[in-house]
Chain A
Amino acid sequence: MNTVPERFVVPIGPQHPALKEPGHFEFTVDGEQVTAASVRLGYAHRGIEKATEGRNWVQNLYLLERICGICSHIHATAYCLGVEKLAGVTAPPRAQAIRVVVAELERIHSHLLWLGVAAHEAGFDTLFMYSWRDRETVMDILEALTGNRVNYSANLLGGVKFDMTPELQDMILKGLEFLEQRTHDYVAVVTTDATLLQRTRGVGVTSREQVEELGLIGPTARASGALRDLRVESPYAAYADFPIVPVTATEGDLEARFVVRLKELFESYRLIRLILEKLPEGELQARMPRKIKPAETISRVEAPRGELFYFIKSNGTDQPERIKVRTPTLCNLASVCILAVGSQLADVPMILAGVDPCFSCNDRAVSIHSTKLGEKQWTWAQLRQYGIDYYRR
């Protein structure tokens, strides 16, 4: 060490063991204290929004499902609901109910995954292994129900692909029983384990005001006492017929986020059981037109991480004019930079994990500020050329 830098920056990402996805954070530290934080995104930008404009409505369903690997079904649901609204089609009640069942199963899998990741960030690998072991139960259920473990392809425009059978119902109920008992154990562990509490209680406290200022959503906001849950605020699919009771906490620290996410699981278990019991009979798919007359709409759903927003514009052809996606991580990520300042470096990965970030669904193109190029607005050809030139260098 020849020179002592003025600012001692600890970089986290784009390749770092704490983040399994590429995002770049720079934390300026003074000893162990973080004094400044900044974030840079865009490492996994895939140009999906642009790509949707060259595919037809059905093809886009599968493309958009691949925005996120964890909450794939909810992306497809948001898109389907939006396109159905544009085309003036309503999916049959049975299809809507099955959509909700898959969405809730997905929420269970996502929250258990998060529990593992957060435990790993806290250096609690046993909890990590156990929660991921138990997550296999719900993964197996999803696989049996839809045929896939990750991108379920359960949705169709105007309905769903797969029906529920009595055998599957039995399997789901059995799995849920096991998971419910395990979740009780996990709630007990995260609220009583002394070493884990040292890392979570009072760490990364987000106040109710900060939730408003930063526009936080999802479980992150609910852990601070803000009731933000689209399943309650504007019920979509079958949530109007099968209402949920939102889970909130008031502390706003990491412990509250653990508790909120875990207690949401109980709500999911209850809802799935209720739907399976009262599954409406009927068709699985309504007829969809191939082309949709020019119109635009928005579609909002509650993904496991918070509100997922779709803007869909049609132009009378079988392809969309524009699709805009805003994923929940984008809203929550700003809070990491705020909360990290003043906390210990060791708590930073925990705070980061606390919002349950998902980078690849979050990455988007940013306007390029270049004085050399002079122009603010680029055509597609120019952007493409820029990309080719950039990588040729």
Chain B
Amino acid sequence: MKGHLLLQDAIRSLFRRAATHRYPAERTATPERLRGKLTYNPEGCTGCCLCTKECPANAIEIITVDKANKQFVMRYHADRCIYCGQCVKNCRFGCLEMPNETWELASLTKTPFTVNYGEDADVERVLAGLVTPEPESTP
């Protein structure tokens, strides 16, 4: 009978902290490589759309405000995103990043899941409907 192995474990467990955490109150460190909400830096973006082409979830739209001046707005759908990081890998200009900071994305409404990234003025123009986004490809 080596059942005593389990008995030892059981007795040890009685006096040990529980392995489970009381999550929202008690947190562990976020791993460095964890992929959180996508961020976009409009500087350097050339509008090549490699990120949108290979996005498995069609979570990214690049809206061209002014092609000549390289002004783009990225519309990101955090609810569709599967956090695979392919877009970050694809971007040759380092505009996209998935930092490990924002990952608790639960929300009661759908609005926070659509994020417009870009220069403030460009985003305002897009939101005002002055720029017509290209027809979205069906997922």
Q: Which residues of A contact B (CB under 8 A)?
A: 55-56, 58-63, 66, 126-127, 130, 133, 136, 140, 143-148, 151, 153, 156, 161-162, 185, 188-189, 191-194
Does B6 lie at the interface of the complex (its beta carbon under 8 Å from any beta carbon of A)? Answer: yes
In the complex, how many angstroms separate the beta carbon of A170 from the nearest chain B beta carbon?
Answer: 14
Does B1 lie at the interface of the complex (its beta carbon under 8 Å from any beta carbon of A)? Answer: yes
A130 adjacent to B9 (CB under 8 Å): yes
Contacts of B82 in A (CB 8 A): 62, 66, 151
Residue of A nearest to B35 (CB): A147
B33 adjacent to A193 (CB under 8 Å): no
In the complex, how many angstroms separate the beta carbon of B83 from the nearest chain A beta carbon?
Answer: 7
- Contact mask B113-137 → A, CB, 8 Å, 1/0? 0000000000000000000000000
6 contacts between A and B (CB under 8 A): A59-B54, A62-B56, A133-B19, A143-B33, A143-B34, A144-B31
- Tell me how many residue pairs across A and B have CB atoms closer than 8 Å: 72
7 other A-B residue contacts (CB within 8 Å) besides A145-B33, A153-B85 = A55-B56, A56-B53, A59-B56, A62-B56, A147-B100, A191-B2, A193-B2
Residue of B nearest to A171 (CB): B31
A56 adjacent to B2 (CB under 8 Å): no
A188 adjacent to B2 (CB under 8 Å): yes
Does B48 lie at the interface of the complex (its beta carbon under 8 Å from any beta carbon of A)? Answer: no
A58 adjacent to B85 (CB under 8 Å): no
B86 adjacent to A188 (CB under 8 Å): no
In angstroms, Cα B4 to Cα A194, docked, is 11
Q: Which residues of B contact A (CB under 8 A)?
A: 1-3, 5-6, 9-10, 19, 31-35, 53-57, 82-86, 89, 100
Contacts of A133 in B (CB 8 A): 19
Contacts of B3 in A (CB 8 A): 189, 192-194
Report, nearest first, the 6 A-B pairs whose CB atoms are least far apart. Answer: A147-B33, A62-B56, A192-B2, A59-B56, A153-B84, A58-B54
In angstroms, Cα B57 to Cα A63, docked, is 9
In angstroms, Cα B34 to Cα A58, docked, is 21
In angstroms, Cα B6 to Cα A191, docked, is 13
Residue of A nearest to B88 (CB): A161
In the complex, how many angstroms separate the beta carbon of A367 from the nearest chain B beta carbon?
Answer: 28
In angstroms, Cα B34 to Cα A140, docked, is 11
Contacts of A126 in B (CB 8 A): 6, 10
Partner of A59 from the list B31, B34, B55 (CB cut-off 8 Å) is B55
In angstroms, Cα B10 to Cα A156, docked, is 43
Given the interface contacts A143-B31, A145-B33, does A188 sit within 8 Å of B5 by beta carbon?
Answer: yes
Partner of B6 from the list A127, A146, A162 (CB cut-off 8 Å) is A127
Contacts of A189 in B (CB 8 A): 2-3, 5-6
In angstroms, Cα B2 to Cα A63, docked, is 45
In angstroms, Cα B87 to Cα A186, docked, is 42
A58 adjacent to B33 (CB under 8 Å): no
In angstroms, Cα B98 to Cα A153, docked, is 14
Given the interface contacts A146-B33, A148-B35, does A192 sit within 8 Å of B86 by beta carbon?
Answer: no
Contacts of A151 in B (CB 8 A): 82, 84
Given the interface contacts A56-B54, A59-B56, A162-B33, does A147 sit within 8 Å of B85 by beta carbon?
Answer: yes
